[in-house]
């Protein structure tokens, strides 16, 4: 799942662009898809446990009481599989573009944070064409390569690649560079006009 904002973010409370604080030209939060919401998970587990209990009781009444333990083991393994899936779903990546850097932050399920910084004017966004299931979205600049969005579907990786490429093109455009210069040096911009 990709959350993308094409417009610059509004200033945060207490944020002052005069102090050098940046607004984002591109901001995307990448998260793995979760197939089942917590309420649906609870209903599924109740249904599985109920069916297993009834089936186990039938076997127990027929004299095959050890089968009841295997039904319980099935329920426990399904529960653990879903909990593991939800744990991995806590992973996310953020991709943020400012006027002077592309910032990538990856937060693992355990909370470990990794950060990368790229100079946007030299950055290349690469994705295999035609896109297949194992296609990778790779950012590269000055010999550094970073694969992002590995948990996204192929279509979502393409969508992200195009959105990021468009944002970089906008940043590199002469019009944006002129606006940035005028904002940074208002006295010289007033003299030129």
pLDDT given for residue 10 in this prediction: 43
Backbone φ and ψ for 113, nearest 5 degrees, come out as -110, 130
pLDDT given for residue 80 in this prediction: 93
Strand 137-141 to 144-148 pairing: antiparallel
**Can you give the residue ranges of every domain in the chain?**
2-6+23-33+95-175, 38-88
Quote the DSSP letter at residue 23: P
pLDDT given for residue 159 in this prediction: 92
Task: Indicate the helix (H) or strand (E) that contains 5.
Answer: strand 2-5
pLDDT given for residue 192 in this prediction: 60
pLDDT given for residue 105 in this prediction: 94
pLDDT given for residue 32 in this prediction: 87
Topology adopted by domain 2-6+23-33+95-175: PH-domain like (2.30.29)
pLDDT given for residue 88 in this prediction: 82
- Splitting the chain (193 residues) into consecutive groups of 10 residues, what average pLDDT does each group show? 49 48 82 83 94 93 91 93 85 91 92 93 87 86 90 90 92 77 68 61
The residue assigned the tokens 């290349």 is 124
pLDDT given for residue 92 in this prediction: 92
Q: Can you say how many angstroms the Cα of residue 124 is from the centroid of all Cα atoms in its chain? A: 19
Distance CA 156, CA 160 (A): 6
Classify 137 as helix, strand or coil: strand
Q: Do 71 and 56 touch, CB atoms closer than 8 A?
A: yes
pLDDT given for residue 193 in this prediction: 58
């Amino acid at each position: 799942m990709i959350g993308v904002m094409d417009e610059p973010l509004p200033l945060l409370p207490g944020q002052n662009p005069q102090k050098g604080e940046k607004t984002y030209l591109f901001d995307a939060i990448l998260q793995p898809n979760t197939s089942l919401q917590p309420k649906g998970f609870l209903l599924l587990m109740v249904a599985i446990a109920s069916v297993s209990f009834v089936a186990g009781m039938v076997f127990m009444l027929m004299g095959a009481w050890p089968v009841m333990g295997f039904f319980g083991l099935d329920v426990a393994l399904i529960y653990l599989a879903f909990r593991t899936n939800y744990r991995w779903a806590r992973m996310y990546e953020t991709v943020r573009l400012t006027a002077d850097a592309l910032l990538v932050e990856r937060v693992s399920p355990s909370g470990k944070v990794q950060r990368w910084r790229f100079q946007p004017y030299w950055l290349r966004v690469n994705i295999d064409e035609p896109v297949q299931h194992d296609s990778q979205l790779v950012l590269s600049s000055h010999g550094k390569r970073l694969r992002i969005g590995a948990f996204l579907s192929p279509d979502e990786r393409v969508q992200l690649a195009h959105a990021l490429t468009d944002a970089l093109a906008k940043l590199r455009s002469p019009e944006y560079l002129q606006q940035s210069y005028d904002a940074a040096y208002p006295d010289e911009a007033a003299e030129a006009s």
